[in-house]
Structure 1
Amino acid sequence: MMDGPAVTDTERKPAKRGKLAVAGAVVLLLLLAVLLPPYININRYQRSIAGVISRSLGRPVHMSGVGLRLLPTPGIVISDFEVEEEPAFGAEPVLRASSVVASLRLSSLWRGRLEVSRISLDEASLNLVRNAKGLWNIGSVLDQASHLSNAPTMQRRAGSSPRFPYIEASNARINFREGLEKKPFSLMNAEFSMWLDTPDQWRLRLTAQPVRTDLDLHLSDTGELQIDGSLQRAADINAMPLHLDAEWSGAQLGQASRLLMARDTGWRGDLDLSATLTGDVNDLHVNSRVRIGNVHRQEFQPGSTVDVDARCTGDYQRTAHALHGLTCFWPVGNGHLLLTGDMHGEENPDSSLRLEIDHLPASFAVDMIGLMRQRAGNAVTTGTVSGDFEYSGGDEESLTGQAVVNGASLRYAGLSEPMQLPAMHFIATPSGQQSPAGQQSHARAGSRRRLQRTALKFEPAILLQSFSVAMGGQAPLNVSGRFTCTQFALQLSGQASLNRLLPLSSNFGLMQSSLASISDQERGGAAAGIAGLSLSVEAPWVVPVSDQDHPELAITTTGSVELKNIRIRTSFLPDPLQIPSATLTLEPGAVVWNNASAVFHGIPVHGSVSFQTSCAAAGTGPCPIGFSLETNTLDAAALQSALLGAGAHGELLDAILAHVGSQHHMWPVLNGSVRVAALEIGDMALHNVAASVSIADTNVHIASLDAEAFGGTMHAVGSLNAGTPRPVWKLDVQLTGVHGAEASSLFHERWGAGTLNADVQFTALGFTEDNLTSSATGDFHFDWRNGTLPTAGTTALPLPHFDHWTGEGTIGNSRLTLTRSQLSHGSRSATILGTVTFARQVDLNAVAPSGTFRLTGSMAHPAVNSTQSQ
């Protein structure tokens, strides 16, 4: 192989010197680019530059300074750039930017005609204003630009017309105003670019974050707005053809509602809106898609996931504020929803819409209800819905049409097999309702059409025609309803077995949990009994978030339920309560059991029970239960066994007090009255007993207890605090007109005749009889007339028969201490002092003019000793 000619050192030196010269020139140019601009003062061109920009925008322009930049590309740096607003739109500048860089095309420098290739605005603030005529302030700028002859931005070679610069803005903010009113909507962190793509078409791109300035929003959840499109030149800006692709993505439904409506509607989900707009400003064709994933209320997560994916098209006419040819299609399962029609603004309210429902799964309708009513989402439904509804606006608004649900079945927790439903027909009411205020406004002579229409309150409603369903009763259950945009109402009449009604009430909350205590016939078995229903159920679709000051009932049920042969199980009674018959009356915020006949362990009771439901909704704790009970005869021993369970022994009072203080069977808050024709407590019989009692936690309060006792009357008030280690019992008992003979027979003693009045107040501690007797303290007073002392068979005591014996004393140390008493018969008198123990042992001293006597022994067999005679 032949080698090439050898290169000598002499030949290498010129080449090396050439490279060094080029490198030196480059370094020199770089040094000049860095060092030279500060020494070149072009501020004298500031007015000229401002004039050129003003003429191109058609607006006055201001700047604080102008500088020269050579790297990375030659350009002009403008500081504090402002573009004034047209007087018709306000006084605030339409555009502000802290820094604007106008980059120059290098090739234009050699031709001697400067050309700007790029205009970059940093931290720009743009105000978009619409006046009362519907015109935008940016319109004149676009109109000015459309009449300027420019070459496309990306054109490689210069022509007779200057090339349109590439305009970009970063970290920008776009504000909106309606006349002089500044709107709270803004676009933050905006990235904007605009260029001339062809001689007659501009292209633009915008990426920004929508925000509100009057609310504290979670900016990470307001999503991102992207717009990409084009504008065509036109002689009139209103006829300027446009094509815009817009998308609002990554937004949360809750923040989107706050952004658009300034309030949180309570809905949650992942929002994605996209739209394509074509046409011109006056006539736009809109093609959009709405997607919302995992739609739900903020209060709960529904049982089934609901996703929205609908596509809508239509033609918007700006001058008429009308949307024509609206078509929205939402496929669901094997069916769909289709909305078509025209929508007009307030000036021309003759809108018309048609909703087509074609083979829509009934489960979808239940899922939609489950978004608003948590319990409804627990139901499993089959069947399809088909039909159509038409809405017409204008002076006489109306809603017509119907839909039919076929092949429906319903299944929910507690139901052994699906409930088969007949065909259900939903029919729209032909017209709305008019409020009284609207009627008055409509009747005024010379009322304007718009005023009349505003006064009319149109409430479109869809009626559910009555249908019957077998619910295990002798007669079917009839169901009808009325549905509006804000609420629904159902009418239930007929019969239902409790084993089918109870799961229905529990799953859908139809009766405010008033039937929750009805138990099964046997453990694990179905509930027995029949209910006759006459109910009206009303509720809003969306339950407001309640607060303690303004509780909102989730559902309101009114009417009555006739119950037969049911059992109720409570947490505070050891066994179920048998109810042969009762009428359950439901009122707004209250439940009343009227005319109830009950049997508890063989004890028949008749009366009523009521309680409020609003206090539970307000979070103030359990509602007090009011009651009024009556019975003919009541035996204390039977009552003890019923209240405390079989096998309970001991004194009734001891056991009841211990039971009230027990945490195993906490009594509810009770407040009511009890009447007993005959109450037997051991050998003691009380007649026509009437008591008013209240129980709260471990506190019992006896407001009054009145009865006929021992031939007289008894009245008592008292209280019990069983929440302490040693419960505190306070009692005030008054006896009036008691027959001494009847009172003594209770203890199988013979006190003699006469009538007795007594007043006893005492306090005792504990549960058992020993605790109560040993801790009892208090006072007593008595007044006995025409009586006989226990030893009336002897003459040992002075005044064995007396006309009047009055006395008082104290209670303590398990005894009664007589501290003062006076016994008299005619003109003779005696003083008796001493003690009587709770074990009925006496130690009394009688002092009379005839001598001093001592009475000892038991009350049944006392002994008398004379200590002094005169």
Structure 2
Amino acid sequence: MKPWLKVALAVAVLLMVVAVATPFFINANTFRPMLEGQLSQSLGRQVKLGNLSLSLFSGSLVADNIVIAEDPAFSTTPFLQAKSLHIGVEMMPLLLHRTLRVTRISADQPHVNLIHNASGAWNYSSLGRGAAAQKQPSQQSGILPGLTVGKLSISNGSAYVTDLPPAGKPLFYSKVNLTVDNFSFARQFPFTLSAALPGEGTLTLVGKAGPINQTDTSDTPFDANLTLKHFDPVQAGVADPAQGFSMLADIAAHAASDGATLSTNGTAHIQNLKLVRNGVPAPHPVDLNFRASQDLNTRAGQVQALTIKTGNVVAQATGGFQLTPQQTTLKMRFTGQSLSIDQIQALLPAVGVKLPSGSALQGGTLTTTLDITGPANSPNISGPLDIENTRLAGFNLGSKLSGLAALGGIQTGNMTDVRSFRADLNANADGVRAQNIAALVPALGSATGQGTVSAAGALNFQLIVKLNTTSGVGGTAMGVLSALHGVLGQTAQSAVNRGIPMTVTGTTSDPHFDINAGALLGGRNPSQNRNQQRLNPAQVLGNLFGKPQ
């Protein structure tokens, strides 16, 4: 055997002996007070490490567990706890000079408690406060002073997000994984974060952050791309199921903060959208494009552009919002011009709008400008609504007019044309109020008035109908009134001039139209009619138009 081969073999054996024997001669726990003190100083929180052991092969110190204390202003429960902590070190300085230089930190199965208080501050805001002010020698690659680490990672972690005082169920995130390269309080560093969300959702955030804000860690500048897959806000705990809002969304967004302003833009693909308790998930997806900004100090935001698209329908929204720990308050305006009713009809069930049973809208356009104000989970929506040239297929208006259908033979067909419908709407959690109604239905005539639709869909409308005297139900009714002209005096002509009072009751899925016969008589006492012995006018009108009011 050649001499150099013998030397190499001897060196290899010696290294193996050293590797095996070193942990017995170096008590890793002697470094624990120093390491705890340096981590505590850098993080601004007390850090406790468990039993330390030295792994020469991996070049690391291993702590059985780690506990990082909470900010006492938030809780006495630890901010972070981890099953084990691996601290990579430079071995030669450690073995020869007993000097600890950390190159990497890895936490296994950590659990983090994130708390948001009533003033809008987070419990992690004070982490590292003042650490970035410490000067670091340019040649130093360890964590001291000021915690500089070549690689920092978290694997298979979990996190609870709660409010102080408590408000609702805490949010829970599992399978949290974080990788940070060249971490430093004083410089920008790249990071990758991923987590599993309740309801089979996933979150990925990739970007750069830093330097760490010395006053408030939550205001640290960053630039990152966010990807949310299969995001269910109810399952994730973001939305209260009692409000009735639900959806499944895939979101891709870019977010950037300079520490004072947060700017975001991106897209969202939303399926199974439902906006109210009595709604039904929309059968077709809704796509959003958005651009917004937020002042991180006042927590007030502005939506510069929000485009809502479903099928070929495109609508716009702009406005502002205010975030508080208790709720998000909106001040938005939604605008839709000449939207295709055929396209938006599929969204009506999602907002709780139910058409008469067996019917469907066909053709026409919808134009509206709606102001959306108040709490995001229960906003007030108000503004004008204008519908043009549509028809309600599968709906026989004549069969819904109490009394008139009993005359026999009055039919409007299984289709009701709506030439126009205009109203000023005000909608909230209690229902919808419609004022300044102006509708033109050729089969009946024109109608004006006001009314309400309750949250359960109950109708209560008072209308004045001017009959179309040439065709449809209006023409038939006018013919009957004219035949009774001798009994009712000028009632027929008055009905044409001033309109017939009508109420609409029942529900949106089963409406009922009743003509107010008493009001039609204009307050006259039918018993005083000269033809009373032959025919009682009130009884006649009751038979024609339903029960007198």
TM-score higher than 0.5: yes
Which of residues 179, 197, 209 is equivalent to 1:231?
Answer: 209
Determine the structure 2 residue equivalent to 1:389: 370
d(CA) in 1 for partners of 2:510 and 2:210?
57
Determine the structure 2 residue equivalent to 1:537: 505
User: How far does residue 236 in structure 1 lie from its aligned partner after superposition?
Assistant: 4.3
User: How far does residue 420 in structure 1 lie from its aligned partner after superposition?
Assistant: 3.3
SS of corresponding position for 2:225: strand
Which of residues 174, 179, 188 is equivalent to 1:201?
Answer: 188
User: How far does residue 99 in structure 1 lie from its aligned partner after superposition?
Assistant: 0.8
Q: Deviations over 1:829-856 (max 9, x none)?
A: xxxxxxxxxxxxxxxxxxxxxxxxxxxx
Q: Is the 8 A contact 2:393 2:414 kept in 1?
A: yes
User: How far does residue 239 in structure 1 lie from its aligned partner after superposition?
Assistant: 5.7
Which of residues 388, 393, 400 is equivalent to 1:406?
Answer: 388
SS of corresponding position for 1:45: helix
SS of corresponding position for 1:310: strand
SS of corresponding position for 1:423: strand
Letter paired with 1:206: L
d(CA) in 1 for partners of 2:362 and 2:86?
66
Q: Is the 8 A contact 2:390 2:419 kept in 1?
A: yes
d(CA) in 1 for partners of 2:16 and 2:161?
45
User: How many matched pairs?
Assistant: 468
1:180–1:34 CA distance, 2 compared to 1 (3 A): farther
SS of corresponding position for 1:46: helix
d(CA) in 2 for partners of 1:393 and 1:187?
29
d(CA) in 2 for partners of 1:267 and 1:318?
27
Which of residues 129, 145, 156 is equivalent to 1:171?
Answer: 156
Q: Deviations over 1:346-401 (max 9, x none)?
A: 8999974322112211123422223443866851421122242346789xx99764
SS of corresponding position for 2:73: helix
Q: Deviations over 1:742-787 (max 9, x none)?
A: xxxxxxxxxxxxxxxxxxxxxxxxxxxxxxxxxxxxxxxxxxxxxx
Determine the structure 1 residue equivalent to 2:437: 465
Determine the structure 1 residue equivalent to 2:78: 93
For residues 719-734 of structure 1, the aligned pairs below 5 Å read none
d(CA) in 1 for partners of 2:162 and 2:205?
20
Q: CA RMSD in A?
A: 4.9
For residues 854-869 of structure 1, the aligned pairs below 5 Å read none
SS of corresponding position for 1:121: strand
SS of corresponding position for 1:140: coil
SS of corresponding position for 2:241: coil
Structure with a larger share of its residues in strand = 1
Structure 2, unaligned runs of 5 or more: 397-411, 474-499, 518-539
Q: Deviations over 1:67-112 (max 9, x none)?
A: 10112x2110112211222332332222211210101245766995
Q: Is the 8 A contact 1:229 1:243 kept in 2?
A: yes
d(CA) in 1 for partners of 2:453 and 2:460?
12
SS of corresponding position for 1:165: strand
Segment of structure 1 superposing worse, 460-469 or 96-105: 460-469
Structure 1, unaligned runs of 5 or more: 1-12, 211-218, 434-456, 502-531, 541-553, 563-580, 587-592, 596-870
d(CA) in 1 for partners of 2:382 and 2:323?
22
Matched, 1:423 2:439: no
Determine the structure 2 residue equivalent to 1:270: 248
Q: Deviations over 1:563-595 (max 9, x none)?
A: xxxxxxxxxxxxxxxxxx997999xxxxxx989
Which of residues 27, 42, 59 is equivalent to 1:56?
Answer: 42
For residues 505-584 of structure 1, the aligned pairs below 5 Å read 534-537=502-505, 539=507, 559=514
Q: Is the 8 A contact 1:270 1:292 kept in 2?
A: yes
Q: Is the 8 A contact 1:277 1:287 kept in 2?
A: yes
1:340–1:476 CA distance, 2 compared to 1 (3 A): same
Determine the structure 2 residue equivalent to 1:248: 228
SS of corresponding position for 1:85: coil
Determine the structure 2 residue equivalent to 1:324: 302
Segment of structure 1 superposing worse, 122-131 or 295-304: 295-304
User: How far does residue 166 in structure 1 lie from its aligned partner after superposition?
Assistant: 1.4
1:300–1:324 CA distance, 2 compared to 1 (3 A): closer
d(CA) in 2 for partners of 1:244 and 1:105?
32
1:203–1:355 CA distance, 2 compared to 1 (3 A): same
Matched, 1:357 2:336: yes
1:141–1:22 CA distance, 2 compared to 1 (3 A): same
SS of corresponding position for 1:129: strand
Q: Deviations over 1:304-323 (max 9, x none)?
A: 73211112222222433322
1:275–1:466 CA distance, 2 compared to 1 (3 A): same
- If the length of structure 2 is used for normalisation, what is the TM-score? 0.69
SS of corresponding position for 2:349: helix
Determine the structure 1 residue equivalent to 2:316: 338
Matched, 1:116 2:75: no
Letter paired with 2:157: A
SS of corresponding position for 1:54: helix
- If the length of structure 1 is used for normalisation, what is the TM-score? 0.46
Q: Is the 8 A contact 2:42 2:147 kept in 1?
A: no
Determine the structure 1 residue equivalent to 2:522: none
Letter paired with 1:369: L
For residues 454-493 of structure 1, the aligned pairs below 5 Å read 461-463=433-435, 465-471=437-443, 476=445, 478=447, 482=451, 486=455, 489=459, 491=461
Determine the structure 1 residue equivalent to 2:489: none
d(CA) in 1 for partners of 2:153 and 2:542?
77
Which of residues 87, 91, 101 is equivalent to 1:102?
Answer: 87
d(CA) in 2 for partners of 1:52 and 1:132?
32
Which of residues 60, 68, 71 is equivalent to 1:75?
Answer: 60
d(CA) in 2 for partners of 1:316 and 1:207?
24
1:377–1:24 CA distance, 2 compared to 1 (3 A): farther
User: How far does residue 325 in structure 1 lie from its aligned partner after superposition?
Assistant: 4.4
Q: Is the 8 A contact 1:336 1:359 kept in 2?
A: no
Q: Deviations over 1:40-63 (max 9, x none)?
A: 422233222222222222222222
User: How far does residue 416 in structure 1 lie from its aligned partner after superposition?
Assistant: 6.6
For residues 570-719 of structure 1, the aligned pairs below 5 Å read none
Letter paired with 1:284: L
SS of corresponding position for 2:370: strand
User: How far does residue 187 in structure 1 lie from its aligned partner after superposition?
Assistant: 1.8
Q: Compare CA radii of gyration and give the structure with the larger one.
A: 1
Q: Is the 8 A contact 2:436 2:450 kept in 1?
A: yes
